[in-house]
Amino acid sequence: MAKLDGIKEIKIADDVFAALAHPMRRQILLSIHHRGTAKAGDIAARFDCTWPTTSRHLATLVESGLLSAKKQGRERIYSANSDLLSDLLHRWAAHFE
């Protein structure tokens, strides 16, 4: 569990909880975590909305730190930063115990 100072913690909480507030983003995140990695197209194919909409949700998740993206040829490979999320959730849960 990484040590973080207060300000950074607040900023992360802000971005992460905002990212988690959308159901499709939560599903995307779970999906990528379980698959290990996924191309944008894999995700776009799995959801019932247009590719640009998916693309923006992916960007939001990357912005929040919950996903990482790397370009590979013309594809973009996303992977979940699961530790960041599970650490944050545990830290917040701990506040309420």
Partner DNA sequence: ATATTATTTAGCTATCTTGCTAATTATTTT
Partner DNA sequence: AAAATAATTAGCAAGATAGCTAAATAATAT
- The contact set with a second copy (CB under 8 A) reads 10, 13-14, 17-18, 20-21, 23, 26, 30, 33, 80, 82-83, 85-86, 89-90, 92-93, 95-97
Of 26 and 76, CB closest to a second copy = 26
CB 25 within 8 A of CB 57: yes
Residues that bind DNA (CB under 7 A): 18, 21-22, 24, 39-41, 44, 49-60, 69, 71, 73-76
